[in-house]
Chain A
Amino acid sequence: MAMEDVTGRPPPKSVLPMSPIGWARRNLFSSPGNTILTLASLYILWLTIPPFLDFTIFSAVWTGTTREACLVPDAGACWPFVWANIDQFIYGRYPPSEIWRVNLTFALGAAVIIPMLIPGLPARKLNLVFLLIVYPLVALVLLAGDRPGLPPVPTSEWGGLLVTLVVAITGIVASLPLGVLLALGRRSDMPAIRMLSIIFIEFWRGVPLVTVLFMASVMLPLFLPEGFSPDNLLRCLVGVALFSSAYMAEVVRGGLQSIPAGQYEAARAVGLTYWQAMTQVVLPQALRHVIPGIVNTFIGLFKDTTLVLIVGLFDLLGQVRAQLSDPNWTVPQGALTGYIFAALVFWAFCFGMSQYSNFMERRLDTSRER
């Protein structure tokens, strides 16, 4: 190809700053296929967004104290139903005079977990000890009571967001150490331990959480000697912890696989034992890599807590459904309002966590680049 002299010619059009029309033409309508897709997407947006906004905002009833307020014709969402029952949705049937204990537990939890999440803060090991050992005990005492000064509140009265958070957080916190052990066991040289780890992991990954919860809550008493009858919530937590430990084991195993074998070999060469090499060299690197995976497992677990209604525990969704059968608030759009409210709350939590996971992923990527 011969070289041409282009001095003096105006620059090509595409270099000019983009006007909205130019941008649209390049991004949205660049080819017939793209044009069709754009038009189809706009049509789908037109079909879904206006009715949703209309129902939840524009035609919705916002104030009122009884169901009559929502019985106007063509009313949208019945938000007074949500405001009236908001205490139930968050705390379940926890006695109103003791709700300060739940709020205190939430505040302490935030104080312990948030520093763990911000990368770069000091005293992580102390924080971890507090998170894994001290906080659960303190939370247990605060929530369950049965101490001088703290009247007992049985777990059958816990409900709503409280139960969701308790089940999800306990599931993750309990499944972390167990998952690490299982992942190490799966990569072990000892065949018996490897076999048992594989069987355990594949079993819990292969059965639906519904059957696990049912087995834990309903059948566990049949497997225990007469007289041992652990609390229902405790059984459910055990089931959830075992279930999520299998997923956690796979996540940790992925992290372990990404660490070159040389790290472990060098550690052994320097004279560390197996456990020292693992805890001080390999695992810190591996766990840092799989934080996004751990957060993803947590998001999944958070959504799966909706299943505990099957075993008689009222999580947020269960509490919403329970309040729907209250004759004082029976309105035709009550179910839709309640479900939209629950969906928004779940979405807010899970979206926040997934944004955090993305943030950590980006940070790890950039930190690995040299």
Chain B
Amino acid sequence: MKNPLVALLVGILIGVGGLYFFLPYDPLSLGEGPVAVTVSPDGAVERASAGDTLRRVKQRGFLQCGVSQGLPGFSNPDERGNWSGIDVDFCRAIAAAIFGDGSKVRFRPLSAKDRFTALQSGEIDILSRNTTWTMSRDTQLGFDFVGVTYYDGQSFMVRKAAGIETVKDLAGGTICTETGTTTELNLADYFRSRGLGYKVLSFEKNDEAIVAYDRGRCDAYTTDASGLYAQRLKLTDPDANMVLTDIISKEPLGPAVRQGDPQWEDIARWTLNALLNAEELGVTSENIDEMLESDNPRIRRLLGREGAYGEAVGLGPDWAVHAIRAVGNYGEMFERNVGTETPLGIKRGLNALWNEGGVQYAPPVR
């Protein structure tokens, strides 16, 4: 009876010693670090309220950004695990505005199912996941949208050989889509309001939906127009398929933050506006050093040479400078991720600036 008892005692001693020396201070903060619990220097654990996201982010040392599980052009990891995309760049801009360094951000891939609850529960600070801004999402789920990073719309991909020109020609057809998205709802609304019949196949993941479309199981594949261009790369013969020009819904894609923290909301909103204003004023990541010496009062205000706009939201005066240095202005962000030089090849269209034929219009920094 002695040896097993000794073994047990030794094991417990090692275990307790391990617990004491090896566990982090807060037993619930494994890995990611606590989101809404802070430890003050004397060791007291306080529960933070929603109002100090900025303080928590600064204390943590990085931004927690919720993104998709892989959507080329918006948030996509490469084979070495580096993320790229418009949504990713936006989070980098915010991180740069806060920390001066656009790399102080951790990306958390979320499915369509758990994206909202992740934001509600505080696991992520901002949801930058090609999410459509709708009234129900803005009012019933406890968060606010801070702007539109990409004006998108739902469209359809069809085979060129089928001779379909408009969405109405799809009446009676079978349409593949991803489940749990506004895509399904819009589809139903469109066909129902015109009294047209259709059949829908809702897959859990877009990967299977696109393969089913490729095999001929459905006559059309629908998602946001930006997604269509990305998914087209996966077809066996991309050139045999085309994206219809009809857009059947408004899909303003934008980032969202939790309600109840006006300062954080302002930071996110005005970072986006800063990038848009930068493009309007011709400030790019390449010429920003010269622009710092500019006499243009609008540029001076944007880049913090005049006024205390950054301080008003709890950031330094160089908040916009860091953001633009990290990701460029909105136009650069767009062209680098989804522009005509990329495999997606999307034109600016609605996403051009207001004075260039699009609807991107940012309020001025003044």
Q: Are B14 and A93 in contact (CB under 8 A)?
A: no
A322 on interface, CB distance cutoff 8 Å? yes
Rounded to whole Å, the gap between the CB of B6 and the closest CB of chain A is: 9
- A323 contacts which chain B residues (CB < 8 A)? 79
- Kindly report which residue of chain B lies nearest to residue A221, judged by CB atoms: B121
**Number of residues of chain B lying within 8 A (CB) of chain A:** 60
Q: Are B113 and A137 in contact (CB under 8 A)?
A: no
- B4 contacts which chain A residues (CB < 8 A)? 125
**Contacts A130-B11, A133-B15 given; does A218 touch B117 at CB 8 Å:** yes
- Kindly report which residue of chain A lies nearest to residue B204, judged by CB atoms: A310
- Give A26 to B73 CA distance when docked, in angstroms: 65
Rounded to whole Å, the gap between the CB of A101 and the closest CB of chain B is: 13
- B11 contacts which chain A residues (CB < 8 A)? 126, 129-130, 133-134
Q: Are B114 and A137 in contact (CB under 8 A)?
A: no
The stretch of A144-152, A172-180, A256-264, A340-348 that contacts the partner chain? A144-152
Q: Are A329 and B32 in contact (CB under 8 A)?
A: no
**Contacts A321-B207, A325-B207 given; does A93 touch B117 at CB 8 Å:** no
Contacting B111 at CB < 8 Å: which of A125, A144, A157, A312? A312
User: Count of A-B contacts with CB under 8 A?
Assistant: 156
Q: Are A221 and B117 in contact (CB under 8 A)?
A: yes
- Give A332 to B214 CA distance when docked, in angstroms: 10
Q: Are B71 and A144 in contact (CB under 8 A)?
A: no
- B233 contacts which chain A residues (CB < 8 A)? 327, 330
Contacting A134 at CB < 8 Å: which of B14, B35, B114? B14
- A146 contacts which chain B residues (CB < 8 A)? 24
- Give A85 to B81 CA distance when docked, in angstroms: 10
B7 on interface, CB distance cutoff 8 Å? yes
Rounded to whole Å, the gap between the CB of B111 and the closest CB of chain A is: 6
- Kindly report which residue of chain B lies nearest to residue A91, judged by CB atoms: B81
**Contacts A129-B10, A222-B117, A322-B69 given; does A330 touch B205 at CB 8 Å:** no
B172 on interface, CB distance cutoff 8 Å? no
- Give A325 to B47 CA distance when docked, in angstroms: 40
- B23 contacts which chain A residues (CB < 8 A)? 137
- B110 contacts which chain A residues (CB < 8 A)? 312
Task: Fill in one digit per residue for A315-357: 1 if any B CB lies within 8 Å of its CB, else 0.
Answer: 0000001111111111010010000000000000000000000
A102 on interface, CB distance cutoff 8 Å? no
- Kindly report which residue of chain A lies nearest to residue B29, judged by CB atoms: A231
**Contacts A218-B113, A311-B114 given; does A93 touch B77 at CB 8 Å:** yes
Q: Are A324 and B207 in contact (CB under 8 A)?
A: yes
- Kindly report which residue of chain B lies nearest to residue A159, judged by CB atoms: B81
- B14 contacts which chain A residues (CB < 8 A)? 133-134
B59 on interface, CB distance cutoff 8 Å? no
Contacting A84 at CB < 8 Å: which of B10, B79, B121, B236? B79
Instruction: Pick from B47, B121, B207 the residue with the most CB of A within 10 Å.
Output: B121
Q: Are A230 and B28 in contact (CB under 8 A)?
A: yes
- Give A327 to B229 CA distance when docked, in angstroms: 12
- A157 contacts which chain B residues (CB < 8 A)? 81
- B117 contacts which chain A residues (CB < 8 A)? 218-219, 221-222
Instruction: Pick from B22, B72, B81 the residue with the most CB of A within 10 Å.
Output: B81
Contacting A156 at CB < 8 Å: which of B3, B72, B109? B109
- A218 contacts which chain B residues (CB < 8 A)? 113-114, 117-118
- Kindly report which residue of chain A lies nearest to residue B236, judged by CB atoms: A332
Q: Are A156 and B24 in contact (CB under 8 A)?
A: no
- Kindly report which residue of chain A lies nearest to residue B231, judged by CB atoms: A325
- Give A61 to B205 CA distance when docked, in angstroms: 27
- A228 contacts which chain B residues (CB < 8 A)? 28, 37
A140 on interface, CB distance cutoff 8 Å? yes
**Contacts A218-B117, A322-B77 given; does A229 touch B22 at CB 8 Å:** no
- Give A288 to B11 CA distance when docked, in angstroms: 23
- Give A92 to B69 CA distance when docked, in angstroms: 13
- A84 contacts which chain B residues (CB < 8 A)? 79
Q: Are B28 and A229 in contact (CB under 8 A)?
A: yes
Q: Are A309 and B111 in contact (CB under 8 A)?
A: yes
Q: From residue 54 to 76 of chain B, which have CB atoms closer than 8 A to chain A?
A: 69-72, 76
- B18 contacts which chain A residues (CB < 8 A)? 134, 137-138, 141
Q: Are B236 and A325 in contact (CB under 8 A)?
A: no
Q: Are A134 and B15 in contact (CB under 8 A)?
A: yes
Contacting A154 at CB < 8 Å: which of B31, B36, B70, B78? B31
Q: Are B22 and A147 in contact (CB under 8 A)?
A: yes
Instruction: Pick from A311, A328, A330 the residue with the most CB of B within 10 Å.
Output: A330
Q: Are A328 and B78 in contact (CB under 8 A)?
A: yes
Q: Are A231 and B32 in contact (CB under 8 A)?
A: yes
B211 on interface, CB distance cutoff 8 Å? yes
Q: Are A155 and B30 in contact (CB under 8 A)?
A: yes
Rounded to whole Å, the gap between the CB of A219 and the closest CB of chain B is: 7
- Give A49 to B11 CA distance when docked, in angstroms: 52
- Give A312 to B32 CA distance when docked, in angstroms: 14
- A129 contacts which chain B residues (CB < 8 A)? 7-8, 10-11
B48 on interface, CB distance cutoff 8 Å? yes
- A29 contacts which chain B residues (CB < 8 A)? none
Rounded to whole Å, the gap between the CB of B216 and the closest CB of chain A is: 14
- Give A138 to B7 CA distance when docked, in angstroms: 18
Q: Are A152 and B70 in contact (CB under 8 A)?
A: no
- Kindly report which residue of chain B lies nearest to residue A225, judged by CB atoms: B47
A153 on interface, CB distance cutoff 8 Å? yes
Task: Fill in one digit per residue for A113-153: 1 if any B CB lies within 8 Å of its CB, else 0.
Answer: 00000000001011001100110011011001011000011
Contacting B113 at CB < 8 Å: which of A155, A214, A326? A214
- Give A96 to B82 CA distance when docked, in angstroms: 12
- B69 contacts which chain A residues (CB < 8 A)? 312, 322
- Give A327 to B76 CA distance when docked, in angstroms: 9
Q: Are A144 and B72 in contact (CB under 8 A)?
A: no
- Kindly report which residue of chain B lies nearest to residue A334, judged by CB atoms: B234
Contacting B34 at CB < 8 Å: which of A93, A229, A325? A229
Q: Are B79 and A85 in contact (CB under 8 A)?
A: yes
Rounded to whole Å, the gap between the CB of B357 and the closest CB of chain A is: 28
B122 on interface, CB distance cutoff 8 Å? yes
Contacting A326 at CB < 8 Å: which of B78, B118, B236? B78
Given contacts A322-B109, A328-B78, 4 further A-B contacts (CB under 8 A): A93-B81, A129-B7, A141-B22, A219-B117
The 6 A-B residue pairs with the shortest CB-CB distance in the complex, in nearest-first order: A129-B11, A221-B121, A227-B47, A93-B81, A155-B31, A325-B70
Offer 6 A-B interface pairs, CB within 8 angstroms, sorted by A.
Answer: A152-B33, A227-B48, A321-B205, A322-B109, A325-B76, A327-B230
